[in-house]
Amino acid sequence: MTDASALGMWGVPLAILGGAIRVSTPFLFVSLGECLTERSGRINLGLEGTLVIGAMTGYAMSYHSGSPFIGVASAALAGLVFGLIHGWLCSFRHVNDIAVGISMMIVGLGLAFYFGKPYIQPTAPRLPSISFGWWSDIPQVQAALQVNVLFIAGAVLAFLMAWMFRNTRIGLTVRVVGDSTDAARTLGIRPTRVRVLATAVGGAFAGVGGSYLSLYYPGSWSEGIASGQGLMAVALVIFARWNPINCFWAALLFGGAGAIGPALQSVGITQGYYLFYAAPYVLTLGILVATSSTERAMTGAPGEMSITK
């Protein structure tokens, strides 16, 4: 805390920047996963549960194997399974994807808390980070520019996904299925299969996002580890207009909002802590209110998605 005085109030925006990079990674992965799923015409509200399952699995496997990367891989696998189940359940007639999402959220939380109980105490190896602050002597700058490998991977993934949607056969298939089931059928594509796969891969991304929570920041497994990031990611994708690169910027913005509370706390402002803590939710709601409309369909929205129909 003594160092904070050296920077004065400048410590706050710096801490927010550093926090944005730190906090945004789970948002980034979940929103990329949700973006892929929604582009195929489904919505997966269960990613909140997948996030927690990913956090638990990642932590447990990192603890048992000694390698955080095995943890991340197993978290992705767990997310893949959850996505597959969600996609499969939604393939039945009259089964509502939003309701299934809510139930998967409850199942995910239940299973994660059930199996996660023994891992609350032990310490698992954490993910490494890369220092981009070597040029500066100020510890805050160095701390803010500690960038985790998963953040970089997420950023690359965002650009890769944008490229995939535009230029590859897979991307085009997903987009066609999302925009019109009939058109997809005409082209000889099986819409249900594409949607199930898109939901599964989306779930895997969310699982990776979850493993970041337990393996880097906040960096331990507890039952309160996720607090709505999975849900906010759904809103974030709408805000990003289903564009992966916009998802990246939106995730940074949300991460910044999430970092306001801790940043103010680090310079000794503790008044209204809970309200600052609520900043990401208020921001999400505000963005939803500002960008939704009853009059016009949203630009860029996949035509088959229940939420925009």
Residues that bind another protein (CB under 8 A): 45, 89, 92-96, 98-100, 102-104, 106-114, 117, 227-228, 231-232, 234-235, 238, 272-275, 277-278, 281-282, 284-285, 288-289, 292-295, 307
CB of 123 closer than 8 Å to CB of 104 = no
Residue 79 C-beta: closest distance to another protein, Å? 17
What does R_g of the chain's alpha carbons equal in angstroms? 19
CB of 229 closer than 8 Å to CB of 284 = no
Tell me whether residue 91 or residue 142 sits nearer to another protein (CB atom): 91
Give, for 147, the enclosing helix (H) or strand (E). Answer: strand 146-148
Tell me whether residue 249 or residue 277 sits nearer to another protein (CB atom): 277
Spell out the long-range contacts of 156-161 with Cβ–Cβ below 8 A and sequence spacing 24 or more.
157/29, 157/32, 157/205, 157/244, 158/28, 158/32, 158/244, 158/245, 158/247, 158/248, 159/244, 159/245, 159/248, 161/32, 161/35, 161/36, 161/244
Tell me whether residue 7 or residue 111 sits nearer to another protein (CB atom): 111
Which two tokens mark 108? Answer: 């995910």
Tell me whether residue 133 or residue 209 sits nearer to another protein (CB atom): 209
Tell me whether residue 4 or residue 102 sits nearer to another protein (CB atom): 102
Residue 97 C-beta: closest distance to another protein, Å? 10
Residue 150 C-beta: closest distance to another protein, Å? 24
Tell me whether residue 114 or residue 135 sits nearer to another protein (CB atom): 114
Residue 105 C-beta: closest distance to another protein, Å? 8
- Measured in whole angstroms, the distance separating CA 219 from the mean position of its chain's CA atoms is 16
Report the 10 Å Cβ neighbour count for 168: 11
Residue 236 C-beta: closest distance to another protein, Å? 10
Which two tokens mark 297? Answer: 């369909």
Residue 160 C-beta: closest distance to another protein, Å? 27
Report the 10 Å Cβ neighbour count for 136: 12
